[in-house]
Amino acid sequence: MSEIVDLRVGEIIAGLQSGDFSSREVTTAFLGRIEQLDEHIHAFLTVNPEQSLSRADEADRKLLAHRRGQQESLPSLTGIPLAVKDVLCVKDMRCTCGSRILENFIPPYSATAVERLSKAGVVILGKTNTDEFAMGSSTENSAYGPTHNPWNLQHVPGGSSGGSAAAVAAKLAPIALGTDTGGSVRQPASFCGVTGIKPTYGRVSRFGLVAFGSSLDVVGAFGKSASEIIPFLNTMSGYDPSDATSIDLPVPGIDLASAAIEETIKNLRIGVPEEYFIKGIQNEVEDRVRKAILQFEKLGAQIVDIRLPFTEQALPVYYIIAPAEASANLARFDGIRYGPRVPADEMWDIFRRTRGEKFGPEVKRRIMLGTYALSAGYYEAYYGQAQKVRTLIKNDFEAAFEKVDVIAAPVAPTTAFRIGEHGDDPLSMYLEDVFTLPANLAGVPGITFPVGFDDQGLPVGMQLMGSHFQEKLLFQAAHAYQLVTDWHVHQPNLDQYL
């Protein structure tokens, strides 16, 4: 059965529809690999084989009926397995957010993104590991222990959606959902050598995504290649009455035919911002990204030097706005409404003890930072000021997108670092996010894909950022690159654990 896990999403769809194999066989193959490998990788926090297999059987009944001509239309993703980051609610499946405070929380409904994919027929394999409440860049902040990078188990997979990125890299799932508040899809995709999309803010409903920074959060996805992710993003996207910030714009069909791709690349103006190639960035990262940019030039794209002068301010601005929003969002976890309760006689003591015992140190740090930034007397100096600078960062992008169609940059200053390397130094960890935060503050989409390896054999990724709602262009550009390179085809060797 091991060859099923090597198939591309398109091949799985074709094989299911022609009856070459069943969804039960596909699901069993991935569950089997999780069973064998996940004790070493720890990509999953929850798997529920019975639930997955019963969904697979349901898909198989539909597939069979379709083949017999008894069912006119077959939902487009019928029978395809999917992993879901553990901050997105899946009905009747435990959702921990990587936190002890939601240890046994079973949501009574699914996130809209998950619900739409379920209607399209996916089979959910399980919930993937994440930094607690998606706060982190390594999954080391998960209360359930870190995920290990499949390319080198001593290294982190990135974060916060590290479980999802590692699951795709290790072939534990063909596709996985993540979320990106400040880089949490793009950075782990880069660290694990897979492709990841962070859509435009508002493209995908946030309903049922446990909120971290509501003005920044967006649901995205991981796959081996750009073309495989497209149908999942298209299915999830679009207006949802349950999320007032979701956008009522149809998702355009994305044409990957070679003529369309050639045409797009020939007319593509790629901006290279000098602020993203700063001192301190790992040499191999800069080298591989620059080579990839040359590759785009060879394909016919025009390379343009640009400036994004407020880039440097993104980090301090993000680390005020995101914690401020988090401190408000996390107020609901009080030991009364959700999850476990540490008993006490007094209501305030229940709050104090439950939150004191069940939140991890990074979450507490963010709550304190955010509460401070929002408190009377400081609000204008911190939160108000940060909002103003956020606008300047957004203006930077708007000015750049008058001259270029996409912006090319490294995803992170380094490749995957060692577990424990940033130890107790939160600031050095925050610095890992310098190149991903600006897109979230501006709300623009970004795609990450592998462009080589460093000297230790760890993947290097690059990102393309686009103007609002230009996901189509990002997918086409990444696809064009993947047609002429094979970095996305390389796989970590995990045979010794099988």
Distance CA 59, CA 46 (A): 22
> With CB under 6 A as the contact rule, which of the stretches 130-138, 220-228, 248-256, 409-417 interacts with ligand GLN?
130-138
Q: End-to-end distance of the chain based on CA atoms, in angstroms?
A: 13
Nearer to ligand GLN, 135 or 408 (CB): 135
Among residues 90, 95, 117, 135, the one that binds ligand GLN under rule CB under 6 A: 135
Give the Å distances, CA to CA, from 351 to 107, 212, 355: 21, 19, 6
Shortest reach from residue 363's CB to ligand GLN, in Å: 10
Query: 88 in helix, strand or coil?
Result: strand
Q: Does residue 134 bind ligand GLN (CB under 6 A)?
A: yes
Residue with tokens 């006689």: 345
Nearer to ligand GLN, 27 or 181 (CB): 181
Q: Does residue 199 bind ligand GLN (CB under 6 A)?
A: no
Distance CA 431, CA 426 (A): 9
Give the Å distances, CA to CA, from 396 to 256, 366, 405, 431: 30, 27, 14, 21
Number of amino acids touching ligand GLN (CB under 6 A): 13
Distance CA 7, CA 74 (A): 21
Shortest reach from residue 403's CB to ligand GLN, in Å: 28
Cα angle, residue 109 at apex, residues 333 and 347 outer, rounded to 5°: 20
- Which residues within the stretch 240-299 sit at the binding site for ligand GLN (CB under 6 A)? none
- Which residues within the stretch 409-438 sit at the binding site for ligand GLN (CB under 6 A)? 433
How many CB atoms within 10 Å of residue 64?
Answer: 13
Q: Does residue 200 bind ligand GLN (CB under 6 A)?
A: no
Shortest reach from residue 251's CB to ligand GLN, in Å: 22
- Which residues within the stretch 309-368 sit at the binding site for ligand GLN (CB under 6 A)? 322
Residue 456 buriedness (CB in 10 A; 0-12 / 13-18 / 19+)? exposed
Q: Does residue 86 bind ligand GLN (CB under 6 A)?
A: no
> With CB under 6 A as the contact rule, which of the stretches 55-63, 129-137, 229-237, 348-356 interacts with ligand GLN?
129-137
* CA-based nearest residue to 232, from 212, 254, 210: 254
Residue with tokens 């300047």: 392
Catalytic positions are: 85, 160, 184
Q: Does residue 181 bind ligand GLN (CB under 6 A)?
A: yes
Nearer to ligand GLN, 182 or 443 (CB): 182
Distance CA 475, CA 466 (A): 10
Q: Does residue 471 bind ligand GLN (CB under 6 A)?
A: no
Among residues 79, 126, 182, 208, the one that binds ligand GLN under rule CB under 6 A: 182
- Which residues within the stretch 156-175 sit at the binding site for ligand GLN (CB under 6 A)? 160
By CB under 6 A, name the binding residues for ligand GLN.
134-137, 160, 180-184, 212, 322, 433
